[in-house]
Amino acid sequence: MTTRPSTAEIRADLLKRYPTGEAPGGVAIDDILQLRLQNTWDSHLDIARQMAVVMRADMAAYDADSSKFTQSLGCWSGFHAQQMIKAVKRLRGTAKGTYVYLSGWMVAGLRNRWGHLPDQSMHEKTAVADLIQEIYVSLRQADEVAINDLFKTLKAAKTEEERKAAIAAIDGFETHVVPIIADIDAGFGNEHATYLLAKELIKAGACCLQIENQVSDAKQCGHQDGKVTVPREDFIEKLRACRLAFEELGVEQGVIVARTDSLGAGLTQKVPVSQQAGDLASDYIKWLKTEPITAENPIREGELALYQGGEFVKPQRLPNGLFPFKENTGRARVIEDCVASLNQGGADLLWIETDTPNVDEIAGMVAEIRKQAPKAKLTYNNSPSFNWTLNLRKQVRSQWLAEGKIQAGDYPDGNELMKAEFDATDLGREADARLRRFQTDISARAGVFHNLITLPTFHLTAKSVDELSRGYFGEDKMLAYVATVQREEIRRGVSAVKHQHEVGSDLGDSFKEMVSGERALKAGGHANTMNQFAAE
């Protein structure tokens, strides 16, 4: 992969070609430089290649220092992703360590032609690739708008000092384009279907694919019941399919996240064939729920028998043909899944779908995995499916009871702990403190390289629209919009308050100036109402 020239190198090359500062036709080299910077990427496949390098560097930094974990929010539109990255850059001055998560749940729920549907792979395959494409179009447009503003500052410079400062700002510009972790569900079919879809996601810009070990045609949301897993050999074949897609497209550093749903999945569709003791199939079969074959419980016509531990047993089978696993084996199966995905499937990161957010439990599983895969690290779903307040308050109550800090009657057990009256109590404050450091703790103690929230923009949109609607259609009318939206946009420096500028209205004016000079008919004149939001 070639290294991209820096802005200074491009400028120097242009000056070498055009020492007068102008190209034929009187075209200014600053204008050429601006247009080149606004179109840095050759294609979205080029983005995938570059962002894979970024993600690999972040993984290496985390291996050296677990405080350098990365984060993302799940975004269901390009605009959500764009505004998230802009917010991070305002806060930190950089978007480094920030990714976009693309949730299959949100594609199913919000981005498919068949309406709002559950997370059961019922959305069109192409919807995922379309959303990746849309997100990168929005992030690239954010670059174009920002670069245009920087060059406007350069053109307005009146002194050499101002010009140097403007050039330094241009040379130091950081793109809004960041890695995307794209959810490919269970692959939407067999290993060949997985490979074909993976290629489309990568060509759309995805440098990282997340795939789960559920049966594709029986896929369920990771936080619902009825999940059915596939034998490890089957899952490894899909991991290989993703790797081949990356390699074919020249994204050699592409990242694969292997997700296991075994902690909550109690069923399998297939009994794999074991070739020898201790292979992947035998390690999978050993967890099946079985019954002894006896005179009272003989083998019957159409039933299956397994030879285990020196005797024949019957695996239980449900009326739908699925095979249940033994109760309370999920944790052990998760550990075996993860080791196989890393050591034999070539996965780069793990994803363990859990039923509660408990650092101790996840750290314990990771410690077991690392006995056989020392470099194991995770992507973790800080899921909105968890009742975070209740879970953390219960954890604090349980710990304090065990330590003798409180008595059982000091705080109620169960859902009563959710009540607002406990917000300002010692227990409520301690639970909130643990929430604040949850991602730091889980990254330090449980090998979590990447913390994400799958569905935050779904819930944020619902809450925000509800908040505005309650006021606007209630008593506050316009005050509701101004107080809850516009005032906050202005005071926080949210660029979207100037909505015409946000969608690139100034880009057309700039191009007209490049080719027409003073003859340019521009939209951004004195009559543009966006001037009311000029920076103070």
Secondary structure of 12-45 in HEC code, one letter for each residue: HHHHHHCCCCEECCCEEHHHHHHHHHHCCCCCHH
- How many Å apart are CA 308 and CA 129, to the nearest integer? 45
How open is the CA angle 495-382-138, to the nearest 5 degrees?
30
Q: Is 49 exposed, middle or buried (0-12, 13-18, 19+ CB in 10 A)?
A: buried
Specify the amino acid at residue 311: E
Q: Is 231 exposed, middle or buried (0-12, 13-18, 19+ CB in 10 A)?
A: buried
Rg (CA), the chain: 28
Q: Is the distance from CB of 326 to CB of 289 less than 8 angstroms? A: yes
**Any idea which residue has 């003989």 for tokens?**
298
* Listed residue (4, 12, 2, 3) closest to 32, CA to CA: 12
Catalytic residue among 207, 208, 221, 338: 221
Per-residue pLDDT of the chain (536 residues), as tens digits, is 456 678 888 889 999 999 998 899 888 988 999 999 888 888 999 999 999 999 999 999 999 999 999 999 999 999 999 999 999 999 999 999 999 999 998 998 888 888 776 666 666 778 999 999 999 999 999 999 999 999 999 999 999 999 999 999 999 999 999 999 999 999 999 999 999 999 999 999 999 999 999 987 665 544 445 689 999 999 999 999 999 999 999 999 999 999 999 998 899 999 999 998 889 999 999 999 999 999 899 999 889 999 988 899 999 999 989 999 999 999 999 999 999 999 999 999 999 999 899 999 999 999 999 999 999 999 999 999 999 999 999 999 999 999 999 999 999 999 999 999 999 999 999 999 999 999 999 999 999 999 999 999 999 999 999 999 999 999 999 999 999 999 998 999 988 888 888 888 787 788 777 777 776 666 656 555 556 666 54
Token pair of 340 as six digits: 């196989």
Q: State phi, psi for 183 to the nearest 5 degrees.
A: -85, 115
Token pair of 109 as six digits: 């729920």
E strands, 269-399, are: 290-292, 306-308, 311-315, 323-324, 349-352, 378-381
E strands, 287-363, are: 290-292, 306-308, 311-315, 323-324, 349-352
Q: State phi, psi for 292 to the nearest 5 degrees.
A: -70, 145
Residues in the chain: 536
| 221 annotated active-site | yes
User: Residues 59, 64, 66, 67: is their CA dihedral positive or negative?
Assistant: negative
Could you tell me how many helices (H) and strands (E) the chain has, helices first? 20, 16
